[in-house]
Amino acid sequence: MENILNKFSLQGKVALVTGGSYGIGMAVAKALAYAGARIAFNGRRANLIEEAEKEYKALGIDAKGYVFDITKEEQVNEFVPQIEKDFGGSVDILVNNAGIIKRIPATEMSVEEFRQVIDIDLTGAFIMSKAVAPAMIKKGGGKIINICSLMSELGRETVCAYAAAKGGLKMLTRNLACEWAEYNIQVNGIGPGYIATPQTAPLRERQADGSRHPFDQFIIAKTPAARWGVPEDLMGTSVFLASEASNFVNGQIIYVDGGILAYIGKQPK
């Protein structure tokens, strides 16, 4: 009898996870490694890359980190071939995870600040996808996973640039899926809900009196699962979208959000 779990194996695959030195990117990289992939990851800070390599190694994961900025096309076009040389083969799985957020009211956000978020969270994913796609086409296929967000669907105050970028990333996912499906490249997205990482730490800080941050309480109330997600909650979906188990899944965003998107809000008692 066939073992269905074989369809989730990533043995022999090379995965590149952007922003893999901590947070969601590190959890996704660990998941892909546990499924058999060899891991390349990047970030802009060399010290964090070095620390991350030690953390991966302590888990038995031989991940190699590279210091480059996904918004700098010349750096991307230097490092992707270097990764392919180091790993002895082209990138099979790209996870566009690297991203930032700026929480500033629209009337106070500068155009430069707006552009910086768009540049990293949206244009960076385009630059990375454009860099790996030719080799995927030549090889006969590949996987691209874009880390979108609840803000690909919903808005909230002070995150206009981020929501615009993540909404755009949803549509970039769908469009590249259409353009590259004939080459057996599946392009999909994961939409995490509110996940406890450094990016959301300011929203969870304990108040001076030891009480929970008001936003923390707000998210708990808006989440049917009544908890923040953790990066590990994204591991299974990552392996699914990176493996042959999803070979007929194209242009989909899978929301891993504890039910937030399905929820109208707690009804009055």
Side chain identity, residue 242 = A
Q: Which stretch binds ligand GCO (CB under 6 A): 6-14, 78-86, 89-97, 188-196?
A: 188-196
Q: How far is the CB of 1 from ligand NAP (least distance, A)?
A: 38
Tell me which residue of 117, 122, 139, 115 sits closest to 175, measured CA to CA: 122
**Does residue 143 sit in helix, strand or coil?**
strand
The sheet carrying 64-67 orders its strands as 64-67, 38-43, 14-18, 93-96, 142-147, 185-192, 253-256
The item of ligand NAP, ligand GCO, none sharing an interface with residue 90, based on CB under 5 to 8 Å by kind, is: none
> Is 132 in contact with 92 (CB distance < 8 Å)?
no
Q: Give every CB contact of residue 77 below 8 A, 6+ residues apart in sequence.
A: 131
Q: Is 255 a catalytic residue?
A: no
Q: Give every CB contact of residue 96 below 8 A, 6+ residues apart in sequence.
A: 18, 70, 124, 125, 128, 129, 144, 145, 146, 147, 169
How far apart, in whole angstroms, are the C-alpha atoms of residue 257 and residue 195?
A: 8
Q: How far is the CB of 209 from ligand GCO (least distance, A)?
A: 23
The item of ligand NAP, ligand GCO, none sharing an interface with residue 45, based on CB under 5 to 8 Å by kind, is: ligand NAP
Q: Judged by CB under 6 A, which of 56, 68, 180, 194 binds ligand GCO?
A: 194
Q: How far is the CB of 222 from ligand GCO (least distance, A)?
A: 11
How far apart, in whole angstroms, are the C-alpha atoms of residue 26 and residue 18?
A: 9
* Contact between 192 and ligand GCO per CB under 6 A: yes
Measured from the CB atom, the residue of 78 and 247 that comes closer to ligand NAP is 78
Total residues contacting ligand GCO by CB under 6 A comes to 14
Residues lying near ligand NAP in the complex (CB under 6 A) are found at 18-19, 21-25, 42-45, 48, 69-71, 97-100, 120, 124, 147, 149, 192, 194-195, 197-200
Residue positions annotated with a catalytic role: 162
Binding site for ligand GCO (CB under 6 A): 101, 103, 149-151, 156, 159, 162, 192-194, 199-200, 203
